[in-house]
Each structure stands twice: as C-alpha cells, then as structure tokens.
Amino acid sequence: MKIIVCGAGSVGKSIVSYLTKGSSDIIVIDDNQRRLDELAQEFDILPILGAPSHPDVLERAGAKDCDIILAVTESDEVNMIICQLAYSLFNVRKKIAGVKSDTFLDPLWGMLYNDNHLPIDLLISPDIDIAEHILRILQYPGSSGILPVLNGQYCILTINIGNENPFPETSLNNIIRQFDDSDVGFINIVRNNTGFIPNMYDTIKAGDEINLLVKCNDIYSVISGFGLERNTNERLVIFGGGAIAQYICSRVENSDVITSARLIEEDINQARELARRFNRVVVINGEMMSDVILSEADITKADAAIAVTENDKDNLLASLIASKDGVGTTISLINTPSYNNLMFNIIGNTIVDRSAIAISKLLKEIRNSNIANAYSVSRGQGEIWEININDENSCVAKKNGELGLPKSCRVIAVLRGTDLIYPDLNFKFEIGDKLLVYVDSSQVKQAEDIFC
C-alpha cells in the first residue's frame, strides 16, 4: 500500500511513526526542510520538499498511483484543498483530511463531504480526540484510559498497578471471581514496557499496565476493586494553551463537576486571547516551571494536572513537578513515542500517546475492509478490532481453535445478541456475532488474512 502524508508537524509525525511499522510505502510532503530531515532520520520514509497543496508537488510525490492520501497540515482549509486535488487530478481512492476546528465536524455540514462537493472520505481531528480521551480519564479517577467498544455497551479500561498490589500472588482466574457481578475480562498486560496476552494462571505485578474489558456501567466498581479509586477531579491545572487545552477548557465552561481550572500559557498573546475567550478558566501567563507561577496556579490544591504542550520534555517535567506537589492525577501528552517508556518508569503517571490516538481513527481505513472498527492500544503495541460476522466471512461455522490465530492474537469476546461471551477454543462462530479481537502490532498481516 502506498500512502502519502501531507504535513510533517506533530500530527503527521505521530501518524508516520505508526504507519512505518507496517509494510506500506510512506511518502511525506512538507515545505519545511528541517521537519522532513528529522522525520527521515527517525523513520523509513520518502521525504518530498514542497507545498502539499500544489499539484506539481503531489505529482512528484506519486499521487497518481497512491492508495491513500492523508492531509494533516496545520491548516484545515489547505487539507481540504489537498483532498480536492487528489480527487480531481489524481483519482486517489481514499482521501482523509485532518481538521482542528470542531465546526467542520458538525453534522449540520456532513452533506458537504462527498464527490459532488468536497471529496473527503474521512475527517479526523486528533486534537479533539486527544482532548476527549483526557476528559474520560478525568471522569473516571484511577483509570489510565477509557475506550468505548461494542456499540458503547462495553469499554476497554486501562489501569496501572502501583506498589500496593491488591492481588499479590493471585491468579487472574481468581481475580475475575472477585467481580462476579461484572463481565470483566483481561485483554493484555504491559510489563517492563513489553505487552503480552496472559493466561488465567498468571498473576499481576506492581508496575503492570492492564487492559480490561468491562461494562461501561461497571467502570467505577472495577476501579475500586483494584484499590485505585481517587477523589473526584474537581480542580484542574492545565499546562499549555494549544488546541487540546482549548477544547478541554470549552468543556470545563459547562461542567457541573469541575469547580476550577487554571491554565498556564507562556506566550503573552495566546494567554490574552484565551483569557478573553473563557469565563470560568483562569489564564496565567508565565514560565510553566516557575515556583511563582505554579503557586499562582494553586498546584498543591489541584486534583489533576494536564500537560499538553507541543514539547514532550516540558510535559514530562510539568507532570513530575505536579506529582511531587501531591497532585493525585497527572497526565502527559507524548508527541514522540520514544518518550513513552521514560515517563512510565519515572512516576507511572498517565501517558497520552498522540500517535496511538491519531492512528485509531485511521486503522479501519488502512486495515482489511471486514473490520468494523479498529483502535490502537498499549502504546502502539497492539490493536483492538471489532469484526461483524456475516455470510461472506470465512469465520462462519468455524471453531475458535480452528482460526489459526498467532499466539500473540486472541478473540477476546463475542457479543451475540445482548450476551457477552468469552469464547474457549471450541466456541463456534455464527452469522451476526460481533467479535472483539486483540492483535499484536507485529502480527497484523497474519490476522488480516484470517478475517478477510
């Protein structure tokens, strides 16, 4: 598969970091030579210098024979023009545009995105998706991630086990028995920065990051069962005033739960603009790491600190300082995946990986067409696929053990009607089943061949 990524900024880089794990040919267009050089040094890509909205540049990049074009420059309008050119001049099969303004996502304008008007097959908004991800973490104190699946009836709950392990030397099978009233299932565990699918005789250890399948109504009780419950996140301190922070603040304006929010922004002009825009958010201009500024932000009284600047090091340091000041929930945006493991080892705070969230909206488009939905999990080490079994699917009437899935992949659960089933090897699939499948990132091609 040949994919052209237009834009080598934070969004483009995060998408490229994931796409290069597969077998696709990746071409990146940007008018900034430094960005291209940095990307080419880190990833196996073909860099093209030039304005991605110019037809001659797209032609030089090979748009006429590419499968997907991803327009993720910093301008919504430029991204739309790129998709129009890709359709009108090069007949590109799949055209995806990134947008920052939620105005373009309003269902009121949904009729615009078709071949007769704006030929865009998919609109993505990574900044808004990241903000929503953070807001879900804030809603469920003690969680490290909430991912709704199976029509929103269930979710993948991510938790981090601290030094006080509530289930030492207890098998997963016996842990599940503690949640008899809930449909709880273990998906995978990340231990020492490596993910694996556990068996029911494994135990959990301090430092583990665990993904669980739970009913959405049972999230609080499961978090409590693992001894991870925390106070409600009512007082926020936000580091950085970019698009992610602005979306969070817009939600704070109408929140009945969050009683106060303070935002620290170093750029004076940006700070003034934000202060004019928001009524309930106190905007503070100054150096984020300054003791005076942190004191003005009442960091020691905050329930949660959210660091969402464009600089990973600043986000890491801000979260570390907040943690030392007693903030219970610290969240760091990581724009470069290489920083993931560093922060996890330092204080175990919640990592928000831009690449994992940005790519989740794209996975359905770049994976096998029989996949209804797909999500990146475990900091890019695995994927969750939702697959609807129909009469054209090769799984029909097969037993689970006959699929031939790699050891690092597993059918986690099957939704049959309203019943959730954790299938054993003898379980036989039927038309109408909804499968939830965990796929190791290194085994994507093998899994696609099975579910084609």
| Token digits of residue 61 | 């990049």
Alpha helices in 48-125 (DSSP H): 55-60, 76-88
Kindly list the strands in the beta sheet with 329-334, ordered across the sheet, starting from the edge strand earlier in the chain: 281-285, 260-265, 235-239, 304-307, 329-334, 350-353
Clarify whether residues 379 and 433 are in a common domain.
yes
In a domain, 419, yes or no: yes
pLDDT of residue 223: 94
Clarify whether residues 112 and 12 are in a common domain.
yes
Clarify whether residues 373 and 344 are in a common domain.
no
Clarify whether residues 118 and 11 are in a common domain.
yes
- Give the bridge partners for 196, in sequence order: 189
pLDDT of residue 342: 55
Q: Are 206 and 191 in contact (CB under 8 A)?
A: no
In a domain, 371, yes or no: yes
Question: Of 72, 78, 34, 23, whose CA–CA distance to 53 is shortest?
Answer: 78
Clarify whether residues 26 and 64 are in a common domain.
yes
Low-confidence ranges of the chain (pLDDT < 70): 23, 108, 110, 337-348, 368-369, 452
* Pairing assessment for the beta strands 434-440 and 382-388 based on DSSP bridges: antiparallel
State the residue range of the domain holding 168.
142-225
Q: What is the CATH number of the domain that holds 381?
A: 3.30.70.1450
Clarify whether residues 298 and 328 are in a common domain.
yes
How many CA within 13 A on the CB side of residue 287? 4
**Read out DSSP for 135-178?**
HHHHHSTT-SEEEEEGGGTEEEEEEE--SS-SSTT-BHHHHHHT
Clarify whether residues 163 and 87 are in a common domain.
no
Clarify whether residues 316 and 365 are in a common domain.
no
pLDDT of residue 346: 55
Clarify whether residues 11 and 97 are in a common domain.
yes
Q: What is the CATH number of the domain that holds 98?
A: 3.40.50.720
Clarify whether residues 239 and 161 are in a common domain.
no
Clarify whether residues 9 and 117 are in a common domain.
yes
What's the number of domains the chain is made of? 4
Residues 137, 345, 14, 28, Cα dihedral to 10°: 180
Clarify whether residues 120 and 176 are in a common domain.
no
Q: Are 350 and 329 in contact (CB under 8 A)?
A: yes
pLDDT of residue 118: 87
Helix/strand/coil percent split, the chain, to 5: 35, 25, 35
